[in-house]
């Protein structure tokens, strides 16, 4: 442990980076390296490359062309070079005075006036050259590289970096020939002879070792969490012949697809077990996940328990609410049971009524936003939680759920005394339309079971996707007019520019005005992220009710919106969206019997053409309607970080390994993890503590 000092600013910055222990510092690896081991002569130097020279100052003056700057000319005997500083102190002018001999580092540019460097670093010439490459570490404001380098060196010297791999396990994997200590020492100070390319693309054996270490920690943590989960208890909910579940099936206006039946059975099997279900249900947009969820809810309700269904936004939650009421209320009413509705924006009185229904157990199903578990909601007998449009429930959320079940006054689980004593957790079903390729999901989340609906309900007309340049907008507007004249409805999606929400709004508002003007007699609505919820709801109601022809929106990222009469979707600046996002959006149309289309409007770049990758991506959209295929292509383009990374967990999961590229290492780690937990528990514990320290919670639950 570093000595506790009065926290200086850099010390605080270290903490912010999570670098609190010696081992954390030792495992903080360079982003890249600078080569300060060599000096070059200006006459041998190459344009555009970083160079280190030693030279004498021959001129130093403040000039105003065009802005105030310090201009220093140096001569290394082979050529001269101009150094420019746009901000400088008097002390610098002294250090750079005529006659000083300096060692200078910077990017060399060759203009017609000769060599130049802008804001180079410099120090007095002479002194030994370093023998190793200089590491450049990931850092934050207030933490200079020099300070960080020293801290890392110290950490590395003090930390215990002895091997935690059980003996013999690296033999099976060729690249793992380096021990951890050796790999770390090398990565922090590589010899200049090494190929920078193998360091940068992480293919070097030293990097392989670090990636194997990290993946093993991740797999151990997952497995441990799975084993902890396996001793938790949940009520056993068996589907009864003639029960609510069968009544619901019989009442549906359609029959389930084979895929829906299959995943329904997988879920029913889980519910019948005393170990809480922890299952991810994946299915493309429109594949019919909601009814599968409703059937699971029916099993729980039939067994006398309560079920909670949560959606990420109020609009989505409300859609579910309406659908589920339609399906379930007629069946629940004769049993004296109700469906309750719970959100943040609810009126106090209504909310009070709903809370009472939930507490009394009269509300068999509770639908809402995450407010359902975050607030003072007391369930009588909660047994199943369903979460829509989320790959993964956060730790805090899962613990909150667990707490809901272990609250005082809850009817204890049926079973022996010992089972009552075990920690209980509701069965958990997560649903997502953003497909994580199955192998990735299974290998990465050891503690998660995955069900996939790989079939769409029959009778869907495929959505025709067209790429159209932005300057042909008028034709698109004609098309909108024609669709609306047929009684159909249209979505117009404006892109979300992450840096500027305000700009989005301006764009969307301008588009809304332009479309309103171009389409007299058509009701054109606007929905954007900054609108208050009641207003959003009112707009959505008009659209879902068929009273609005065109909906302009920045947030049809309200994934899950279901308006079967919508037959055309226009996505502006489609080139700015991710493929999976486009696919999600496109899934909003083609939900009814009418032929549907999706227009991807793109802006031509400065060259008058769409860039090559952008074109390839949009073409992929036009070519395939299969969400999993699109996810695969997206994975190729962007890497798995987007699927599994910080966005969902709140913390970056893998720093070094790449799930798409390091498949072999991942397999190795997955096979080793159970062996290690069983046969070398102490090594496993040391390994986890070393790699995850206080962060292990992020990888669990």
Contacts with ligand ADP by CB under 6 A lie at 254, 256-257, 260, 283, 285-291, 433, 457, 560, 562, 591
Binding at 381: pick from Mg ion, ligand ADP, none (beta carbon under 5-8 Å per type): none
Q: How far is CA 563 from the centre of its chain?
A: 28
* Three-state secondary structure call for residue 397: helix
Nearest to 361 by CA among 445, 433, 304: 304
Binding at 302: pick from ligand ADP, Mg ion, none (beta carbon under 5-8 Å per type): none
Contact 555, 531 (CB under 8 A): no
Binding at 596: pick from Mg ion, ligand ADP, none (beta carbon under 5-8 Å per type): none
**Closest CB to Mg ion: residue number:** 560
Considering the complex, what minimum distance in angstroms separates the CB of residue 269 from ligand ADP?
20
CA dist 54 and 75 (Å) reads 8
Considering the complex, what minimum distance in angstroms separates the CB of residue 319 from Mg ion?
8
Nearest to 671 by CA among 446, 393, 407, 336: 446
Considering the complex, what minimum distance in angstroms separates the CB of residue 441 from ligand ADP?
17
Considering the complex, what minimum distance in angstroms separates the CB of residue 317 from Mg ion?
11
Give 143 or 267: the residue with its C-beta nearer to ligand ADP. Answer: 267
Nearest to 510 by CA among 524, 522, 530: 524
Please list the residues that pair with 468 across neighbouring strands. Answer: 601
* Three-state secondary structure call for residue 557: coil
Give 208 or 434: the residue with its C-beta nearer to ligand ADP. Answer: 434
Q: Render 201-254 in DSSP notation, one character per residue.
A: TT-SHHHHHHHHHHHHHHHHHHHHHHHHHHT-B----PPPTTSHHHHHHHH-SS
Binding at 575: pick from ligand ADP, Mg ion, none (beta carbon under 5-8 Å per type): none
* Three-state secondary structure call for residue 121: strand
Give 261 or 481: the residue with its C-beta nearer to ligand ADP. Answer: 261
Return the number of other C-beta atoms located less than 10 Å from residue 498's C-beta: 8
Considering the complex, what minimum distance in angstroms separates the CB of residue 110 from ligand ADP?
58
Considering the complex, what minimum distance in angstroms separates the CB of residue 586 from ligand ADP?
12
Give 235 or 560: the residue with its C-beta nearer to Mg ion. Answer: 560
Give 260 or 544: the residue with its C-beta nearer to ligand ADP. Answer: 260
Binding at 291: pick from ligand ADP, Mg ion, none (beta carbon under 5-8 Å per type): ligand ADP
- Render the burial of 401-436: b for 16+ CB within 10 Å, e for the rest: bbebbeeeeeeebeeeeeeeeeebbbbbbbbbbbbb
Phi first, then psi: give them for residue 341, nearest 5 degrees. -130, 130
Considering the complex, what minimum distance in angstroms separates the CB of residue 138 from ligand ADP?
39
Give 208 or 390: the residue with its C-beta nearer to Mg ion. Answer: 390
**Closest CB to ligand ADP: residue number:** 288
Binding at 170: pick from ligand ADP, Mg ion, none (beta carbon under 5-8 Å per type): none
Give 221 or 287: the residue with its C-beta nearer to Mg ion. Answer: 287
Phi first, then psi: give them for residue 102, nearest 5 degrees. -125, 150
Give 154 or 457: the residue with its C-beta nearer to ligand ADP. Answer: 457
Binding at 285: pick from Mg ion, ligand ADP, none (beta carbon under 5-8 Å per type): ligand ADP
CA dist 94 and 97 (Å) reads 5
Considering the complex, what minimum distance in angstroms separates the CB of residue 289 from Mg ion?
5
Binding at 260: pick from Mg ion, ligand ADP, none (beta carbon under 5-8 Å per type): ligand ADP
Considering the complex, what minimum distance in angstroms separates the CB of residue 528 from ligand ADP?
23
Considering the complex, what minimum distance in angstroms separates the CB of residue 552 from Mg ion?
23
CA dist 635 and 658 (Å) reads 11
3-state helix, strand, coil in the chain (%, to 5): 45, 20, 40
Binding at 549: pick from ligand ADP, Mg ion, none (beta carbon under 5-8 Å per type): none
Phi-psi region of 253 (alpha: psi -120 to 50; beta: other; left: phi over 0): alpha
Contact 602, 618 (CB under 8 A): yes
Binding at 457: pick from ligand ADP, Mg ion, none (beta carbon under 5-8 Å per type): ligand ADP
Sheet of strand 80-85, all strands in order from the earlier edge strand to the far edge? 109-111, 114-118, 80-85, 68-75, 50-64, 101-107, 121-124
Give 452 or 701: the residue with its C-beta nearer to ligand ADP. Answer: 452
- Render the burial of 581-615: b for 16+ CB within 10 Å, e for the rest: bbbbbbbbbbbbebebbbbbbbeeeeeeebeeebe
Give 389 or 662: the residue with its C-beta nearer to Mg ion. Answer: 389
Judging by DSSP bridges, how do beta strands 363-368 and 382-387 pair with one another? Answer: unpaired
Considering the complex, what minimum distance in angstroms separates the CB of residue 21 from Mg ion?
44
Query: Interface residues with Mg ion (CB under 5 A)?
Result: 560
Binding at 282: pick from Mg ion, ligand ADP, none (beta carbon under 5-8 Å per type): none
Considering the complex, what minimum distance in angstroms separates the CB of residue 624 from ligand ADP?
18
Give 218 or 451: the residue with its C-beta nearer to ligand ADP. Answer: 451
Give 29 or 280: the residue with its C-beta nearer to ligand ADP. Answer: 280
Count of all residues that appear for the chain in the document: 701
Binding at 288: pick from ligand ADP, Mg ion, none (beta carbon under 5-8 Å per type): ligand ADP
């Amino acid at each position: 442990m570093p000595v506790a000092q009065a926290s200086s600013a850099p010390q605080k910055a270290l903490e912010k980076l999570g670098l609190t222990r010696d081992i954390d510092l030792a495992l903080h690896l360079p982003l890249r390296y600078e080569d300060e081991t060599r000096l070059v002569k200006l006459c041998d130097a190459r344009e555009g490359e970083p160079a280190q020279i030693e030279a004498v100052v021959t001129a130093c003056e403040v000039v105003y062309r065009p802005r105030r700057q310090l201009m220093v000319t140096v001569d290394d005997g082979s050529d001269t070079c101009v150094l420019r500083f746009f901000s400088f102190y008097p002390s610098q002018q002294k250090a750079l005075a005529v006659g000083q001999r300096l060692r200078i580092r910077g990017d060399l540019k060759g203009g017609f006036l000769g060599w130049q460097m802008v804001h180079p670093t410099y120090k007095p010439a002479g002194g030994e050259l370093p023998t190793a490459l200089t590491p450049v570490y990931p850092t934050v404001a207030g933490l200079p590289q020099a300070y960080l380098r020293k801290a890392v060196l110290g950490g590395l010297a003090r930390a215990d970096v002895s091997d935690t791999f059980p003996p013999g396990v690296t033999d099976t994997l060729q690249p793992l020939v380096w021990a951890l200590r050796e790999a770390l020492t090398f990565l922090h100070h590589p010899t200049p002879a090494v190929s920078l390319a193998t360091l940068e693309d992480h293919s070097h054996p030293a990097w392989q070792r670090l990636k194997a270490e990290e993946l093993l920690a991740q797999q151990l943590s997952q497995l441990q969490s799975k084993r902890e989960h396996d001793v938790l208890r949940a009520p056993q909910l068996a589907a009864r012949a003639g029960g609510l579940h069968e009544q619901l099936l019989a009442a549906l206006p359609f029959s389930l697809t084979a895929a829906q039946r299959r995943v329904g059975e997988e879920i029913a099997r889980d519910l019948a077990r005393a170990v809480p279900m922890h299952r991810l249900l994946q299915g493309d947009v429109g594949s019919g996940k909601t009814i599968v969820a409703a059937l699971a809810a029916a099993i729980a309700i039939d067994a006398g328990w309560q079920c909670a269904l949560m959606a990420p936004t109020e609009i989505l939650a409300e859609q579910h609410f309406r659908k589920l009421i339609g399906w379930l209320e007629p069946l629940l009413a004769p049993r004296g049971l109700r469906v309750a509705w719970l959100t943040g924006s609810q009126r106090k009185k209504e909310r009070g009524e709903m809370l009472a229904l939930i507490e009394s157990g009269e509300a068999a199903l509770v639908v809402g936003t995450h407010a359902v578990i975050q607030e003072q909601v007391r369930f009588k007998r909660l047994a199943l939680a369903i979460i829509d449009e989320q790959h993964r429930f956060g730790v805090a959320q899962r613990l909150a759920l667990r707490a809901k079940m272990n609250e005082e006054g809850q009817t204890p689980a049926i079973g022996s005394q010992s089972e009552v004593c075990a920690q209980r957790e509701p069965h958990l079903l997560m649903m997502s339309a953003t497909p994580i390729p199955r192998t990735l999901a299974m290998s990465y989340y050891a503690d998660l079971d995955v069900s996939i609906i790989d079939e769409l309900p029959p009778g869907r007309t495929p959505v025709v996707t067209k790429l159209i340049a932005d300057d042909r907008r008028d034709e698109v507007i004609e098309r909108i007019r024609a669709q609306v004249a047929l009684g159909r409805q249209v979505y117009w999606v404006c892109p979300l520019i992450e840096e500027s929400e305000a700009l989005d709004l301006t764009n969307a508002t301008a588009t809304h005005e332009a479309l309103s003007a171009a389409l007299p007699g058509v009701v054109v609505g606007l929905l954007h992220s900054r609108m208050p919820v009641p207003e959003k709801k009112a707009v959505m109601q008009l659209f879902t009710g068929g009273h609005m022809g065109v909906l302009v929106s920045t947030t049809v990222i309200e994934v899950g919106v279901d308006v079967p009469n919508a037959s055309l979707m226009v996505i502006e600046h489609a080139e700015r969206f991710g493929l999976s996002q486009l696919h999600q959006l496109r899934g909003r149309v083609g939900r009814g019997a009418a032929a549907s289309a999706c227009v991807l409007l793109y802006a031509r770049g400065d060259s008058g053409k769409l860039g090559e990758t952008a074109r390839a991506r949009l073409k992929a959209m036009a070519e395939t309607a299969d969400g999993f295929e699109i996810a695969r292509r997206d994975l190729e383009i962007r890497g798995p970080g987007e699927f599994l990374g910080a966005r969902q967990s709140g913390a970056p999961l893998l720093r070094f390994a790449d799930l798409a590229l390091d498949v072999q290492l991942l397999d190795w780690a997955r096979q080793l993890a159970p062996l290690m937990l069983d046969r070398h528990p102490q090594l496993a514990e040391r390994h986890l503590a070393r790699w995850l320290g206080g962060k292990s919670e992020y990888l669990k639950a």
